[in-house]
Structure 1
Amino acid sequence: MIDCDVHNSWTSAEVLLDYLDPAFREYLDRGEIPGPRGAFPHAHRPWLHPEGFMRYDAVPPSGVTPGADLPFLAEQLLDRYSIDYAVLTGDESIEVSTLANPYYAQALASAYNDWMIENWLSADPRLRGSLIVAPQNPQLAAAEIRRLGDHPDIVQVLVSSGSQRPYGDPFFHPIWEACSEYDLPFAAHLGGQGGLNSTPIACGPTTFFWETHALLCETGMAHLGSTIAHGVFEKWPNARLILIECGVAWVPPVLWRLDEDFRALRKETPWLRRLPSEYARDHIRLTTQPLEVPNSPQALWPALADIGAQDMLMFASDYPHWDFDDPNFIRLPEDWREAVLDGNARSVYRLPAQEVVDELAG
């Protein structure tokens, strides 16, 4: 099993000070981060979670932040579920996308990447890292990819889904070019609502957290359509977009709509040679958390099968967040389980084949 969304954290953002460019240390030292001093919280967002963002039982015995204690994380997640690999997606760190100063934002992202490599990837062979970049300045983000993109345990480039514009826009093409050079997927994780990205819902700000959380998938729709329409996958044939925690049930009808409009208006984008759904099946991947549950649970699968989602879905637990999905209870068609729980992620992240893992473990 491969878990594609595990949120590692820190006891305090001050752990980044030793890794931060000296020009920006004073910013962090005096608390210039999104929210209260000591951590990037979720409290700077306009929507407050009524119960808290973390599982109550994920607080380690030491009392530190959930996700900050690797031995406890390993016991509660990796060991309990026999997970071969966990892809670390950070937590507060992707909130750099909400900062107005792109230079400071990328400095924080770079400091996090160095801290994560030294303190997490070196500590457990089951861990793989996401290279976090600040997309506000694509040139700086591309430079960060070229700085660390060849690290053997880095498996993707990660941004927040909350963005100033859709990620297929040519503004972001320097990031796609650098990802292509290192054959790294470009992943967008749900979030970033705050700061520069204060209205990630199409009609403007919503009122309640549950309402907002349910509708944030609209950012995933925009990025999916944009990357296809702007020809990202024609320009870089090895490019892959991974949408993390953006949901999956909306994908079939959106692709159906894109296919229909493209058939009628294809002269608008003459660089596209295939249907949007065909690009999606080959180049876009989706994590299972949250996996929507219809009133009739089996109603979801025919629509997903129609777009070939058995090749697109990858398991994610979202540990240690409040909406964690226990892999023992995830509902999947039996003939999809091996691909969704293991094979699809193993392929897109270029992880060793299962027999190699077993041999190393032995």
Structure 2
Amino acid sequence: MTTIIDCDCHNYWMSAEVLLPYMDGIFKDFFIRGEQPGPVGAFPHGHRPWLHPEGFKRADINPATQEEHYSLMKEKHLDRYNIDYAILTGDEALEASTLANPYYAAALVRAYNDWMVDYWLPKDSRFKGSLVISPTDPHGAAAEIRRLGGHPDIVQVLASHGAQRPYGDPFYHPIYEACAEMGLPFAIHLGGQGGVNSNPIGAGPTTFFWETHALLPQSAMTHVASMIAQGVFEKWPDLYFVVIECGVAWVPSLLWRLDANYKALRKETPWLKMLPSEYFKRNIRFTTQPLEQPGTKVEHLWAILEAMDGENTLLFASDYPHWDYDSVESLHIPPQWRDSILGGNALKVYSRLPQPKTLAKTA
């Protein structure tokens, strides 16, 4: 049987007020009495310049209680597709990085992490957690990684792709030092636009959500190039960098450009010992959702995936329960790659994952 590991499964709350028991002092006062965007119970974050017209969740996912978030996930996703592990990626907590106050942002993600460990991880042995950080304070983020990163069911560190500067910048290196120390991959997830973060669209803010969603890979391109050029993978050669929900078809063209420019101008970055594409293959992984849809000829996409060594660099992700959810059955990849992409590659990246029962049965 094929091992299936979902590398982007969103766990929700009915109200962000579930975090209040995990907060104290002035930051709890900020949350209770501060002027927050959105309705009562909304998570504090900076405003976006655009709005989603329909909401982010699938139309058939409408839990009436907190407990139903799990029961619906179990019924419609985990059990239906025999998921071996679901890596929880939260949701609104990623927006903490849009706040101007880095100490408040750190308090919010700390509260989320404690709530996730207490509430979600015990619910199902298939759940593995992402430790959410706010990179606006790298030293504070590193302290949070060291505080909770030893938990056996925490498998990665997660930040939003909206950021104040490219992620390879030495400003962020304390985060990677802590990740390496704890043996955890560093992942970025679509989100964190607005507030103090740089706009993810290079020429300026967009107007419509569908337009914005199509262009969001722009910031991922910047982060990938920066992580390579700044020598992050020379300093920490065993660090995995996981890019979640940013598309993949653009990757080969970026690698081709990076390789060509590096060959001509390598004296700028003498610390690099390999081609950018070689660092990519060794250290960077992409999730499949949302995998581009090439119209009538899927072979066009497959040629692009082959150019990025997709059999070894892609990780399955469903993005449950969002509107553009991808099921195991709808994943349009070469059939001979399915074992690697659905689970085999993730087992190499997330080294803390125990051997799944499906794998044990076929061993």
Q: TM-score, normalised by structure 2?
A: 0.94
Q: Deviations over 1:103-150 (max 9, x none)?
A: 000000000000000001112110000000110000000000000111
| Cα pair 2:46 2:195 within 8 Å, conserved | no
How far 1:223 sits from its partner (Å)? 0.7
Secondary structure, counterpart of 2:156 in structure 1: strand
Secondary structure, counterpart of 1:57 in structure 2: coil
- Aligned with 1:353 (options 346, 355, 359): 355
Match of 1:344 in 2: 345
Ranked by relative contact order (alpha carbons within 8 Å, sequence separation 6 or more), the top structure is: 2
Match of 2:290 in 1: 290
- Aligned with 1:21 (options 24, 38, 58): 24
Stretches (4+) displaced over 3 A: 31-36, 41-44, 354-359
How far 1:239 sits from its partner (Å)? 1.0
How far 1:286 sits from its partner (Å)? 0.3
1:85 aligns to 2:85 (yes or no): yes
Distance 1:161 1:43, change over 3 A: closer
Match of 2:333 in 1: 332
Secondary structure, counterpart of 1:329 in structure 2: coil
How many Å separate the matches in 1 of 2:330 and 2:312? 21
Partner AA of 1:54 in structure 2? K
Q: Deviations over 1:266-308 (max 9, x none)?
A: 1110000100000001100100000001132111122221231
Count of aligned positions: 356
Q: Deviations over 1:71-104 (max 9, x none)?
A: 2211111111100000000001100010100000
Secondary structure, counterpart of 1:87 in structure 2: strand
How many Å separate the matches in 1 of 2:263 and 2:46? 45
Match of 1:55 in 2: 58
1:7 aligns to 2:10 (yes or no): yes
Q: Deviations over 1:307-345 (max 9, x none)?
A: 312111001110111111121111110111000001011
How many Å separate the matches in 1 of 2:174 and 2:326? 35
Identity %: 61
How far 1:253 sits from its partner (Å)? 0.2
Q: Deviations over 1:18-64 (max 9, x none)?
A: 1113331111112454543302389932211122111110112xx24
| Cα pair 2:287 2:315 within 8 Å, conserved | yes
How far 1:358 sits from its partner (Å)? 4.7
| Cα pair 1:315 1:341 within 8 Å, conserved | yes
How far 1:353 sits from its partner (Å)? 2.6
Partner AA of 2:316 in structure 1? F
How many Å separate the matches in 2 of 1:207 and 1:217? 17
Q: Deviations over 1:213-253 (max 9, x none)?
A: 10011111011000000000000111111000010000000
Q: TM-score, normalised by structure 1?
A: 0.95
Match of 2:223 in 1: 223
Partner AA of 1:330 in structure 2? L
Which segments of 5 or more consecutive residues in structure 2 lack a partner in the other structure? Answer: none
How many Å separate the matches in 2 of 1:42 and 1:318? 21
Secondary structure, counterpart of 1:202 in structure 2: coil
| Cα pair 1:206 1:212 within 8 Å, conserved | yes
Match of 2:177 in 1: 177
How far 1:352 sits from its partner (Å)? 2.2
